[in-house]
Structure 1
């Protein structure tokens, strides 16, 4: 009997396969198509023949844990204990899955804010929990009245994602204050903060839970080197959590993956000595602005993009088709792959929105825009 009887094949796989079949430009799946930093390659070549190919300690390479701790102090002025509060994971998705399966028991309820990343619900279901999906406002801000109404005596965890995939929105100060007030009223509820796009923010600075003293003692924070360093295929992320929660997370982690790819950990550890995280947002800001400028005279309506490398558009001036059908039409007739936003909602809410990934070469974005401008 299936534990996930109603979970279909990932929309990212579906759209990427369709794009391949029709030779379409793939702006659907969220990964860069440009080369990684040459310094990263040089470090990789240097370390390849060194003795870095055996298991690291279960929680992660000690040198890398120290570098993450230093980065967290530099970025957020938070000191973390490398022994008790940090864990290297096989990508942030594994970290999220491990967290949920360590902390959620049969019948526990988990609040998920829609539109939401598609791994949250399956992770809750496998753990025996009950996902409680609550829609964000039309501008993708959190509705705390709805969230509080969804809380019951069984609520164990709330998941937030900031900067937000798929919409590119960033939470503001007043929203974090409202979240703090809510969790103060419900002190037994834990928080899982998915911050994998933390270093990709534009006009408004990213506010990390790392900077919220009222929240850090009940929060697990998921980060991603794959996203931040555009090496998504390396699948290396990390969790920051208070010791009492991290103890439980490590129990599951050690039997799920034991330890993460050793070579990648060694390379990233060395690379952190030379990379400037402030440059990451500048690079993606250029790509966002380029993509927006290329589409400004099209019939697509560009939604605000405050962070991440995703641009949401409304196509109501082009078609009345539902977003899934229109996304498929973009592939088959216009040669560009995208993701329909309805797939990120439990109820498949269709607001005629699509998500484009602009983590691509300028040439790719220009070529895609030439096709989209004719829609």
Structure 2
């Protein structure tokens, strides 16, 4: 028996005591209990492409198993620069403009820690990914919630809209950051270019930074107004005028290639 056990009084730090159980644990347990499809966690239910698995095997066989630079393996950041440069309409420096993270969730946490001072406010569009608010609180910031609201007779995720007057009313002199998630988790809404332009106008007016969570960037599909092979377009807010310098964009290998357990993200 540990002779010191009765003398130790352990309490988590005050800033984390209210976090509780994650939504993933709660809904996974409910899905198992009711034999339901688990929509509580964002992982694909199909296997990774063969070329991804073969590349991982080849890397192991080539003994690429040691430390990389802190910002990420240069082969990976270089490949990402080649992919994203044309999408953003600019040349990207793989050594200074791209960083590899332990999943996009670390990218969220690291970005918030780097940008948010104690007392700052961060605008969160409800509903949102479970990690946003805890990341803000851990930085000493205050989450400020602004909901998406369904329009009358809403038929799809596109019918959930952000009231821009309500968003602007939530802005104060302490507002530092706005987190945008498109395509959105959990509703699935893909913000239109017009909607993102309204957000861009607002954040520039009030000098607010943007964290754009785009981990589902390749998962857009047809809607009722398009044929089966016409996807709803994904607009990157950083491509809008005046937004490049105030936006951090997140991506995810896990979501893109169905390898969520590998925990590879980038910003």
Matched residue, 2:184: 164
- Pairing of 1:116-265 with structure 2 (within 5 A): 116-138=128-150, 139-187=159-207, 189-203=208-222, 204-239=232-267
Task: Please say if residues 91 and 226 of structure 1, whose CA atoms lie closer than 8 Å, have aligned partners that are also in contact.
Answer: yes
Cα shift at 1:222: 0.9
Q: Where in structure 1 do 4 or more consecutive aligned residues deviate above 6 Å?
A: none
Deviation at 1:22, TM superposition (A): 5.5
Query: Structure 2: how far apart are the matches of 1:71 and 1:103?
Result: 26
> Take 1:181 and 1:25, find their aligned partners in 2: how far apart are those partners?
39
- Secondary structure of residue in 2 paired with 1:102: helix
Contact between 1:78 and 1:211, CA under 8 Å: does it hold in 2? no
Q: Distance in 1 between matches of 2:53 and 2:193?
A: 39
Aligned to 2:122, the other structure's residue is in SS state: strand
- 1:163-215, Cα deviation, whole Å (9 max, x unpaired): 1111111111221221222123112x111111111111123200012422311
Q: For the Cα contact (< 8 Å) 2:200–2:237, is it kept in 1?
A: no
Whether the aligned pair in 1 keeps the contact of 2:216 and 2:256 (CA below 8 Å) is: yes
Cα separation, 2, equivalents of 1:220 and 1:184? 15
Asked whether the 8 Å contact 2:71–2:100 carries over to 1, the reply is: yes
**How has the CA–CA distance of structure 1 residues 46 and 14 changed in structure 2, closer, same or farther, with 3 Å as cutoff?**
same
Please point out which of 76, 90, 101 is paired with 2:102. Answer: 90
* CA 23–141 in structure 1, closer or farther in 2 if over 3 Å, else same: closer
Q: SS of the residue aligned with 1:19?
A: helix
Give the structure, 1 or 2, with the largest relative contact order (CA under 8 Å, sep 6 or more): 1
SS in 1 for 2:188: coil
Q: Aligned partners of 1:26, 1:116: CA distance in 2, in Å?
A: 17
State the match for 2:228 in structure 1.
Answer: none
| 1:72-131 per-position Cα deviation (integer Å, ceiling 9, x unaligned) | 123332322212211000011100000001111110000101111111100000100011
- Contact kept, 8 Å, 1:78 with 1:210, in 2: the verdict is no
For the residue of structure 1 that corresponds to 2:176, the secondary structure is: strand
Deviations 1:222-275 (A, max 9, x none): 111111111111110100xxxxxxxxxxxxxxxxxxxxxxxxxxxxxxxxxxxx
Call closer, same or farther: CA 1:151–1:46 in 2, change over 3 Å.
same
Change (3 A) 1:176 1:22: closer
Match of 1:252 in 2: none
RMSD: 1.6
Once residues 177 and 39 of structure 2 are traced to their aligned partners in structure 1, the CA distance between those partners, rounded to angstroms, is 33
Can you give the 5+ residue segments of structure 1 that lack an aligned partner in the other structure? Answer: 240-375
Report if aligned partners of 1:159, 1:194 keep a CA contact under 8 Å in 2.
Answer: yes
Q: Which moved more, 1:61-70 or 1:173-182?
A: 173-182
TM-score normalised over the length of structure 2 = 0.84
Task: Measure, in 2, the Cα distance between the counterparts of 1:21 and 1:135.
Answer: 30
- In structure 1, the residue matched to 2:70 is 58
Classify 1:53/1:175 alpha carbon distance in 2 versus 1 (closer, same or farther; 3 Å): same
